Amino acid sequence: MSISYIPMRSPFAANRWRGSGPRVLLFVLECSLGIVAVVLVTALSHWSQWLLPVALLLYLLIVVPIALLYGFWQAVIVSLSAVAAHSLFATRQAQFHVEPNPAADPVNTIALLVFVLVALLVSRLSSRVTKHAEEAESWGTQMQDLYEFTRRTLQMNLHVEPGPQLAELVHEIFALEAVVVFDADLHEIYQAGIWETDPQELAQNVYYFETSDDDPATGIGRRVVRLGTVPVGSLVVRGDTSPLTNNAIASLIAITFDRYRAFANESHLEAERRTEQLRATVLDSLAHAYKTPLTAIRAASTGLNEMGHLSAGQADLVQLIDEQAGLLSELTSRLLTTARLDAGEVAIHAAPVGVGSLIEEVVASLRDRLASMKVSIDLPNEDLVLHCDRQLMVMLLTQYIDNACKYSIFGTAVTIRAVQSHKEVVFSVHSFGSVIPMADRERIFDRFYRASTKANKAEGTGIGLSVAKRAALIHGGHVWVTSDEIEGTTFFAAIPTVGLKR
């Protein structure tokens, strides 16, 4: 609702009567006082035979205070009464053949009219100055309210929904009759004050139809709450506020909504980080605790094999114990390696390493896993050398190739490639298997995360790719994956040719 500024006619008339009857009576009284003063001055000037300039000065002394104290229209009526009174006295002097009065000269009458117009202009300018002063005072009050609203929103508790707090603040600070705030993200309505109509329907209509307007007749202001160009809610107020103030309130509500969502996301990420940290700590502690009993189990199974005199069933059981203990030992080793990489406790030994020999070493260590696969090594530059930690790069490539063996289609080819691109060596392991969804391609390198595709039936812990990622990061490189039904799945690792980051 826009502010309707009614200038005060007198600095002493702060408390005006309300109602048309008292207003008319007061208007007549103010005009009467001015007219009586004009009649008295006119009679005195004609009786004393004063010159017109003297009478004009006296008229100005009446009209200007009337304009300042009461208003423009009162000054107009008093000015016209001065012209009429002066003309009337001049006419009566002519009828009674009184000695000609210089004031009765038509030129003097024109001069009188000019001076009266000047008085009216002064009164009009005074009225405008008063009006502007009152508007400035009103804007100053609104700016103070907006400042207070801004300050209070910055101190809000963002652990809870901001809607109820915002509605109460707007209602309290701006002294409005009623307020309703609609949060489109939470689809909740928050109101303060008393609404005669359904505030929920009112606020939702503003949001869905994007109607922003002000109705002076009802005192209702409607605003769509936007973040940039995106609608995030709506605001409806009933009371004495200006359109600009309503715009400012809606903008501050949008900022508060955005702060709440950012705080909620940050809190959620922090909770996830702490959960991941706790889970990793527990598993790493278990890995340390498992090492000693696993070593004893493998030593016992090896000793039973060497003792001999075992039946076929006993030998099979001992072999099963040895195999499963080996798998469990490998898992604990990966957990410990990941923990040491995250903590920066792994000793880094950087040296020039031939890329060809590095790939051959990894392929040889996985010979049994690759027995049923077609392996292709693509190395355009056989003399390619990389300055790196050999053990970490073996871990990275081992995980990539082992991952391809797990998830590729039986009988398809696994292609291992290494090329130099600018100042990096880009390793890639390509295979055909289940497609990795787009949403999983970033998180698949996080520890313990596994792709959500149902086609993924292979066993795994979700640890290996996180180790590969950490090994690449230590070298100052980065990892990524592409996956497509036609082109297949390719894991990449770009490693700088020189330099090693701790």
The pLDDT score that the predictor gives to residue 499 is 57
Q: Report the mean per-residue pLDDT for the chain.
A: 78
What whole-number distance in Å separates Cα of residue 390 and Cα of residue 352? 9
At 405 the three-state DSSP class reads: helix
Q: What is the 3-state secondary structure (H, E, C) of 163-203?
A: HHHHHHHHHHHCCCCEEEEEECCCCEEEEEECCCCCHHHHH
pLDDT tens for each residue of 209-233: 888 899 888 889 999 999 888 899 9
| CATH class for the domain made up of 160-266 | alpha beta
CB 407 within 8 A of CB 456: yes
Q: Which of 31-35, 70-74, 288-292, 298-302 has the highest mean pLDDT?
A: 31-35
What whole-number distance in Å separates Cα of residue 487 and Cα of residue 467? 26
CATH of 350-496, one of 3.30.565.10, 1.20.1250.20, 3.40.640.10, 2.60.40.420: 3.30.565.10
| Unique residue bearing structure tokens 């009103």 | 138
Q: Is the dihedral of CA 461, 464, 465, 470 positive or negative?
A: positive
What whole-number distance in Å separates Cα of residue 78 and Cα of residue 73? 9
What whole-number distance in Å separates Cα of residue 99 and Cα of residue 50? 13
Residues sharing a CB contact under 8 Å with residue 208, sequence separation 6 or more, in sequence order: none
The larger pLDDT score, comparing residue 335 to residue 455, is at: 335
Residues sharing a CB contact under 8 Å with residue 316, sequence separation 6 or more, in sequence order: none
The pLDDT score that the predictor gives to residue 67 is 73
The partner residues of 495 in beta bridges, in order of sequence, read 425
Q: Is the dihedral of CA 183, 189, 191, 195 positive or negative?
A: positive
What whole-number distance in Å separates Cα of residue 301 and Cα of residue 435? 41
Task: Grade residue 1 by pLDDT with cuts at 50, 70 and 90.
Answer: very low
* pTM (predicted TM-score): 0.43
CA angle centred on 249, ends 247 and 255, rounded to 5°? 105
Span 305-309, average pLDDT: 75
Structure tokens at 275: 């959960």
Structure tokens at 414: 């696994």
Q: Is the dihedral of CA 289, 283, 471, 331 positive or negative?
A: positive
What whole-number distance in Å separates Cα of residue 411 and Cα of residue 433? 11
Share of the chain above pLDDT 70, in %: 75
Q: How far is CA 1 from the centre of its chain?
A: 27
Domain boundaries, the chain: 20-147, 160-266, 274-343, 350-496
The pLDDT score that the predictor gives to residue 37 is 84
Does pLDDT of 413 surpass 60? yes
Does pLDDT of 121 surpass 80? no
Q: At what angle do helices 20-47 and 52-69 cross, to 10 degrees?
A: 160
Instruction: Say how many C-beta atoms besides its own lie within 10 A of residue 166's C-beta.
Output: 28
CB 174 within 8 A of CB 249: yes
